[in-house]
């Protein structure tokens, strides 16, 4: 799987955690709570450090020393983090990535470009696409809950490195 890449992707956001062990960041992402639980903090820390997508089992392995023993500990934390808008699930990768969108206003309609060579992920929003999809939904009486937009291909860096 793709647990590589310290590439770009997840940088530039202000989550700026110091995952020592303290949990008092104060952000405002979607319905994010004032305070994360210990497990949520650890999982989010792992994803932030990685700067790219990780599978649940990779996260589990990275958190063994912090006392993690079972997949469910990771999946439960991920579920909440996604709910809070701090993490995205990448369906085509069965992996998770920390949100890197500056203000991630429309957390349910972000798009992701995934490099199949280096595994890096770029998160972006495109108003025209969102508008178009909502338009289709409206025209077809479809009550849209969430959209998945994932591009697969080769990033600029990897193409240059031929």
Positions that interact with DNA (CB under 7 A): 1-4, 37-40, 55-58, 67-73, 75-77, 80, 94-95
| C-beta neighbour count of 143 within 10 angstroms | 6
| Ramachandran angles phi, psi of 76, nearest 5° | -65, -40
Q: Give whichever of 69 and 162 is closer to a copy of itself, judged by the CB atom.
A: 162
Burial of residue 161 (CB within 10 Å: 0-12, 13-18, 19+) is exposed
Taking alpha carbons only, the member of 151, 142, 154 closest to residue 7 is 154
Q: Check: CB of residue 21 under 8 Å from CB of residue 71.
A: no
Q: Which stretch binds a copy of itself (CB under 8 A): 9-17, 25-33, 67-75, 138-146?
A: 138-146
101 binds, among a copy of itself, DNA, Zn ion, none (CB under 5 to 8 A by kind): Zn ion
SS3 119: coil
Taking alpha carbons only, the member of 118, 121, 76 closest to residue 97 is 121
147 binds, among DNA, Zn ion, a copy of itself, none (CB under 5 to 8 A by kind): a copy of itself
What would the x/- binding string for Zn ion be over residues 102 to 141, using CB under 5 A? Answer: --x-----x----x-xx-----------------------
Q: Give whichever of 52 and 73 is closer to Zn ion, judged by the CB atom.
A: 52
Residue 55 binds a copy of itself (CB under 8 A): no
What would the x/- binding string for a copy of itself be over residues 100 to 119, using CB under 8 A? Answer: -----------x-x-xx---
Q: Give whichever of 55 and 147 is closer to a copy of itself, judged by the CB atom.
A: 147
Residue 82 backbone zone (phi > 0: left; psi -120 to 50: alpha; other: beta): alpha
């Amino acid at each position: 799987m793709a647990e590589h890449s310290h590439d770009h992707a997840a940088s530039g956001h202000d989550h700026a955690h110091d995952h020592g062990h303290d949990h008092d960041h104060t952000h405002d992402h979607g319905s994010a709570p004032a305070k994360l639980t210990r497990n949520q903090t650890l999982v989010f820390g792992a994803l932030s450090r990685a700067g790219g997508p990780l599978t649940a089992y990779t996260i589990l392995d990275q958190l063994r020393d912090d006392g993690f023993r079972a997949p469910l500990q990771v999946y439960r934390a991920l579920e909440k983090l996604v709910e809070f808008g701090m993490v995205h699930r990448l369906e085509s990768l069965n992996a998770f990535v920390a949100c890197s969108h500056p203000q991630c206003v429309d957390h349910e309609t972000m798009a992701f470009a995934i490099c199949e060579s280096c595994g890096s992920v770029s998160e972006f929003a495109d108003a025209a696409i969102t508008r178009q999809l909502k338009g289709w939904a409206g025209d077809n009486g479809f009550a849209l809950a969430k959209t998945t937009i994932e591009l697969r291909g080769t990033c600029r860096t990897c193409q240059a490195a031929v």
